[in-house]
Amino acid sequence: MTRDEKRAAASLAAIFALRMLGLFLILPVFSIYAQTIPGGNDLTLVGIALGAYGLTQAIFQIPFGMASDAFGRKRVIIIGLLLFAFGSGVAALASDIWGVLIGRILQGAGAISAAVTALAADLTREQHRTKVMAAIGSSIGLVFALSLIGAPVLYEYVGMAGIFWLTAILALGAIGLVTHVVPEPPPPHPGPKVPFREVLFNTQLLRLNFGIFTLHAVQMSMFVVIPSMLVASGNLPLGGHWKVYLPAVLASFVLMVPAIVAAEKYNKVQSVFIASIGLLLVTLLFLWLEGRHFGGVAGGLLSFFVAFNILEAMLPSLVSRVAPARAKGAALGVYNTTQAFGLFLGGFLGGWLTKNLGADMVFLAGAGLVVLWLAAAATMAAVPLRRTPAPDAGHGILDSQ
């Protein structure tokens, strides 16, 4: 990787991490805080306040992605981060659950994921793109694990308002990275505008979008039942669950590296991609069989995070390579919207299945979805990896493509 590619990877991963840390810090403590404000005893409103972010994310990902194609990635990212910081301030000043709900809606309206991943694709060559997406995905996983440890401590010292103000500060810090650290993107690709229907109904992209929908539906449905399984199988209190999550997440980062290197260095993208989906399927079946034993749950989580992190890195990289050059932002907008719907539907189905059919059915239903994804991926046309030499000094990444 060139110096600019490394700088792009590190700075864009940091932008994602700063924004996601602000979000993740809220999750472990919000339901406790809600009980102290007017309206917070209504669990439906508490759930809506948490989920409102995801809903507005789903609504605005495509418009923000298309806007980044038309008006520039950095401009759209900065606007999104300002919206997120403003929403954080509204939530910090809220005196009841409705004010928090409005703040969460505004936070979600800053839907920059598509623009950031499109910018990552603009600034990296194809043979290194999966590594960059892996760096971004790993940063998200790491801050999630850290938030499980840090949120209770922060809540004790600065309260919920302090955590919301911290999220605003982190978003403003991310703007500084956009303006001063992230390399300048290349000029927009020349040529006519790509009709949106060509992005929406592209069969290759549809397969990848179904993949991210399945991956996050499985993730969300699993974590409806995993906490209670850790309590039941290992007598591990909720406050100690990070002792399982953190080692599993960190070990998965180490174990995913050989797969990512093999995919790019030896042009084994398709093989690694399908093998990772297969690992996800085996993991779900293993948890279905061994979920009553603490060691089985812990081992299943490690296996899940390995498969999840590899697929989370490979999917956006593949989308950026399949999508028309002038519509990367739009394609990644559709991709991120599908991801958000997967999170929503996974949570709903996980709760419904557990309540009506038992926790075992969560893993079997997830396995059924993954079987469909495996069939779709196996019939997907191979995406050739174009190897581009490093640009000469003074030239941008895409000048040589």
pLDDT digits (tens, 9 = 90+) for 163-219: 899 989 988 999 999 999 888 877 766 666 778 788 888 889 999 999 999 998 888
Contact 374, 281 (CB under 8 A): yes
Give how far Cα 216 sits from Cα of 93, 212, 358, Å.
32, 6, 20
- 202 and 329 belong to one structural domain: yes
Does residue 401 form part of some domain?
no
Q: Give the per-residue pLDDT at 398.
A: 44
Q: Is 242 among the domain residues?
A: yes
Same domain, yes or no, for 178 and 203? Answer: no
Asked if residue 391 belongs to a domain, the reply is: no
User: In this structure, is the dihedral angle defined by the CA atoms of residues 230, 232, 235 and 239, taken in order, positive or negative?
Assistant: positive
- pLDDT confidence bin for 33, thresholds 50/70/90: confident
CB-CB contact of 207 with 380 (8 Å): yes
pLDDT at 386: 60
CB 322 within 8 A of CB 202: yes
221 and 175 fall within a common domain = no
Q: What's 11's domain CATH number?
A: 1.20.1250.20
Residue 252, both tokens: 């998965």
The answer to whether residues 154 and 275 belong to one domain is no
Total number of domains in the chain: 2
In a domain, 398, yes or no: no
The reply to whether 332 and 375 lie within a common domain is yes
The span from the CA of 396 to the CA of 401, in Å, is: 10
In a shared domain, residues 161 and 98: yes
What confidence category does residue 299 fall into, taking pLDDT thresholds of 50, 70 and 90? very high
Name the more confident of 338 and 194.
Answer: 338
Cα 264 versus chain centre, distance: 21
pLDDT band for 245, please (50, 70, 90 cuts): confident
In the prediction, which pLDDT does 210 show?
95
- Domain limits for position 111: 1-184
Q: Is the pLDDT of residue 270 over 50?
A: yes
Do residues 239 and 127 both lie within one domain? no
The answer to whether the pTM exceeds 0.85 is no
- Which pLDDT band, with edges at 50, 70 and 90, does 396 fall under? very low
Confidence of residue 84 (pLDDT cuts 50, 70, 90): very high
Residues 6+ apart with CB under 8 A from 197: none
Task: Tell me if 122 is assigned to some domain.
Answer: yes
Report the C-alpha gap between 251 and 309 in whole angstroms.
11
Asked whether residue 387 is domain-assigned, the answer is: no
Query: Is the pLDDT reported for residue 400 higher than 60?
Result: no
Would you say residue 161 lies in a domain? yes
What is the pLDDT averaged over residues 94-98? 90
125-156: pLDDT as tens digits = 777 777 777 777 777 777 777 776 777 788 88
Instruction: Single out the residue in 150, 184, 218 at which a domain terminates.
Output: 184
Which of the listed residues 131, 160, 184 is the one where a domain comes to its end? 184
Do 211 and 376 contact (CB within 8 A), yes or no?
yes
In the predicted structure, residue 283 carries a pLDDT above the cut 80: yes
The answer as to whether 396 is a domain residue is: no
* Residues 223 and 164 placed together within one structural domain of the fold: no
Single out the residue in 149, 184, 219 at which a domain terminates: 184
Same domain, 231 and 355: yes
Q: Are residues 70 and 165 in the same domain?
A: yes
DSSP annotation of 399 reads G
Do 146 and 260 fall into the same domain? no
- Do both 116 and 226 map to the same domain? no
